[in-house]
Structure 1
Amino acid sequence: MSNADDASETTTGDADLARRAAELGAQVVRSRDWRGVAREDKGGGDFATAVDVEAERAVLGLLRAARPDDAFKAEESGRTGAPDAARRWLVDPLCGTLNFAVGTHLVGVNVALQEHGRTTAAATADPYTGETYWTDGARARLRRDGADTPLEPSPESRLVDLNLDPPYPNAPALRVARLLTDADFERAFRPRVVSSTLAVAWVAAGRRAGYVTDGRLEGSVHFAAGIALCEAAGCTVTDLRGGPVHRGDGGLIAAADERTHALLLDLITRQETTGVRR
């Protein structure tokens, strides 16, 4: 087998592992009752539940058994493994904890593999629909009932998810929340606030026209999987200023197509230029 074949086989194996790990985490989440779940305060109104911790433990157990030489960064347990490893798995075991804790079934389990800063495999699993969005870095697929179909972005819904959770490193010049009262945004789109990065995967799947958030996304356990899915599906993905998305405090615009991206970028650019809500 050639080196190219070896690399292809490894990539496919990593993507399958990411998918299986995300699905295992989703299985844990789906099987646990939100009512009365123990919480651990993390400050600033944020918290983790016992289900976050249990799902993360299951995901990391599978990944470590399959890739013992890799490094890991997980939402609840932080960084483990060799600090100089070229490969690092990013794990968000329950994205949408606040939703889960009140019985709102809008959550996802995110798993991504980064090599030298590039995401080469990723998956987002929805515990309540049984769907898994996954990519090997080149293709983007939706697995449902054991069958895979290509992810196909579409702007037709005009639905754009806005992440209103802190931090806001680009404030006060830029505030995503201002788009909610922008007349031009209202004419072009319909806002949604899901409060889970499951909505980023929806952009790749054609269920959302776009997604916008502020924040520090480099090496983010929350966003790495969704960004990789959108890029592999052919979405237009940049930071809030149209630059590379994994750079510093730039935030994210994930759009189904170039036209949708251009409209969103223009709205955000005008906001930063004026510095005030119009």
Structure 2
Amino acid sequence: MAAISGLIRVMEKAARKAGGRLRRDFGEVAHLQVSRKGPADFVSKADQVSERTIYDELLHARPDWGFVLEEAGIIEGDETKPRWIIDPLDGTSNFLHGIPHFAISIAVQEPKPGGGGWGEVTAGLVYNPITDESFWAEKSRGAWLHDGRLRVSARRNPSEALIATGIPFQGHGDFGEWSRIFAAIGPNVAGIRRYGAASLDLAWLAAGRFDGFWESGLSDWDTAAGCLIVREAGGFVSDYRGRSLPIHSEQVLAANDALHSRLHKMVAGAIKAPGQNA
């Protein structure tokens, strides 16, 4: 069992406080005030309250750190200190339709040494308010579900693997690309699931519930915590071309080492431009 650091305790306290309010609002989902901010992209009063709750808690704990917030945008802090990357309600559509599968995601990103931007993610937490599951990781300290160590699955054969994905929807994503990838992966695996919350997909991959994951067109707050949790659970995370970055959002491909290699070949072949040699 890992000793939970003060930083993770701060993150978990904020997530649990916001999560309690989300649970109450979820019970009253039919009465929520909902505003439309784009095609099939909704923001609820609950989402806004969750973000404000997390912001207030983390600002009190680390007053000189900056923020990257899904709703409020970037709030600058001391450029020599880390910043928070927060999704206060990943799975908003699930939430608004009464589907109990959504999460809060909080990550810590470090400034690059010597300045000039942002570098690695060193802590991440994904909290599911409905199941009260808290997935967390710190760089070089492993990944955990509460106080139990997480490891990605050991399945190496795609025919035994359960793969998660996110499907493009109205106004979001490249359906043609997704369809080609699905056509390449689908016939070779045991199953494909789409649950609608990328942070939980990655946390479940770290816990061995899923064996692989792919999606594109996400945002940093969707994946920053989840990418670290997968890596600290022994998994590999890259873009569709195999490049490894601190945070993957535009393209995410994740699995254990052997399965990642096989999935990468399928994906790379699927997205290769017409007319190119295999």
TM-score (norm 2): 0.84
Unpaired stretches in structure 1, ≥5 consecutive residues: 1-8
Aligned-partner residue type, residue 55 of structure 2: L
Residue aligning to 1:89: 84
* 2:223/2:248 contact within 8 Å kept: no
SS in 2 for 1:244: coil
Aligned-partner residue type, residue 12 of structure 1: S
Distance in 1 (alpha carbons) for counterparts of 2:190 and 2:178: 14
Give the 3 Å change call, closer, same or farther, for CA 231–164 of structure 1 in structure 2. same
Unpaired stretches in structure 2, ≥5 consecutive residues: 112-118
SS in 1 for 2:222: coil
TM-score (norm 1): 0.84
Residue aligning to 1:267: 266
Q: Does 1:190 align with 2:191?
A: yes
Aligned-partner residue type, residue 119 of structure 1: V
SS in 2 for 1:259: helix
The partner residue of 1:76 within 49, 71, 79 is 71
**1:69-118 deviation digits (Å, cap 9, x = unpaired):** 00011111111242735311011000000000000011010001101221
Distance in 1 (alpha carbons) for counterparts of 2:84 and 2:56: 12
Residue aligning to 1:205: 207
Distance in 2 (alpha carbons) for counterparts of 1:249 and 1:160: 18
SS in 1 for 2:195: coil
Residue aligning to 1:176: 178
Residue aligning to 2:164: 161
Distance in 1 (alpha carbons) for counterparts of 2:154 and 2:47: 33
The partner residue of 1:19 within 9, 12, 15 is 12
SS in 2 for 1:263: helix
Q: Residue 237 of structure 1: CA displacement?
A: 1.0
Distance in 2 (alpha carbons) for counterparts of 1:120 and 1:189: 33
Aligned-partner residue type, residue 242 of structure 1: G
Q: Residue 155 of structure 1: CA displacement?
A: 4.9
Residue aligning to 1:5: none
Residue aligning to 2:145: 142
Distance in 1 (alpha carbons) for counterparts of 2:249 and 2:54: 28
* 1:245/1:252 contact within 8 Å kept: no
**1:148-191 deviation digits (Å, cap 9, x = unpaired):** 100121154621111123644xx58x722333333x53222411
Q: Residue 229 of structure 1: CA displacement?
A: 0.5
Please report the RMSD computed on the Cα atoms of aligned residues, expressed in angstroms.
2.3
Residue aligning to 2:251: 251
Distance in 2 (alpha carbons) for counterparts of 1:265 and 1:115: 28
Count of residues paired in the alignment? 256
